[in-house]
Chain A
Amino acid sequence: MVSAIILIAYLVLRPPLVRATKLWLLLGLGILPIGAAFAGNVQGFEATKERKFCGSCHVMSLHEQDSDDPSSRSLASRHARNAMFGDENCYVCHADYGMFGTIVTKAGGMRHVWMNLTAYRGVTLAGAQRTIRLREPWKMNGNCMQCHSTKADLWLRVPDHTAALDDVREGRIGCASAGCHGLAHPFFGAH
């Protein structure tokens, strides 16, 4: 607001470029907008984590409806009912983990926006169900293992887990595959 007042004042008054003008403009064009951009980015990053945001592209509406459905038995929906995931369940499961996970995920999100605006703008839900797939399905186990570490006694007591331990850790067998815990989004084909 202060920045806008400074800028409008400059546009209306057109003062000479003396030291005071330069300092006011530094505030109005530099310091205050950088602060606003920082706050805006934080707010933007937080907004893009919300399920509502992911579901606002029409091809993702089935995913959103399923996550919102308290009676759904899908893996995604059951996780959405967990307070640790809550309204950010898409992001928690699909975000890359690791030091630069947020940045990598946001860059990937821009690709999703581009795809939605170009290739998928006119695609029906049925068409989306046939064609949308995970780009790197082998990475998904890593996201599951952020919580289910594969090292706890309870987890290791399950014979199927111990039998496939290396394959699960390496991502060769997906936790969310038909023979194991079922597809995370069963209404959306095999991914």
Chain B
Amino acid sequence: MASRRAHRLLVAACICALVALGLMTWQLFDPRVVPVIVAMSIGQVLGTASFAAYVLVIIADFRAHRRAERDSRKVR
């Protein structure tokens, strides 16, 4: 995954996670129907998606490093 794309994905993940954290905090201080349901549905989805995006970037980065290492060994 290109570095710029990875950064863009991480920025999106950070924004999603911030929104998810906001929703979860809202529910903690205001445990009424709407905050609880929104936090336990949209909040969970956003939080999970942001973590999944992070894992995706890390895996892609790890694979790119391994490929680069293999290529450099071949050149030598």
Contacts and interface: CB of A to CB of B under 8 A. Distances in A.
The list of the 10 closest CB pairs from A to B, nearest first, reads A47-B31, A40-B24, A7-B14, A29-B54, A56-B33, A44-B36, A44-B40, A33-B47, A36-B24, A11-B14
A36 B21 contact: yes
B28 A56 contact: no
A132 interface: no
Contacts of B18: 4, 7-8
A172 interface: no
Interface in B15-57: 15, 17-18, 20-21, 24-25, 27-28, 31-33, 36-37, 39-40, 43-44, 47, 50-51, 54, 57
Given A29-B50, A47-B36, A37 B13 contact: no
Interface residues of A, number: 31
Interface of B: 3, 6-7, 10-11, 13-15, 17-18, 20-21, 24-25, 27-28, 31-33, 36-37, 39-40, 43-44, 47, 50-51, 54, 57-58, 61
Nearest to A54: B33
A178 to B, nearest CB: 32
B7 A11 contact: no
Interface string A24-40: 01101110011011011
30 contacts: A7-B17, A7-B21, A10-B10, A10-B14, A11-B11, A11-B14, A11-B15, A14-B11, A17-B3, A22-B58, A25-B10, A29-B13, A36-B21, A36-B24, A37-B44, A39-B28, A40-B25, A40-B28, A40-B43, A43-B31, A44-B27, A44-B31, A50-B31, A53-B32, A53-B33, A53-B36, A56-B32, A56-B33, A113-B33, A113-B37
Tell me if B's interface is mostly helix, strand, loop or mixed. helix
B32 to A, nearest CB: 6
A33 B58 contact: no
A14 B44 CA distance: 25
A33 B50 contact: yes
B47 to A, nearest CB: 5
A3 interface: yes
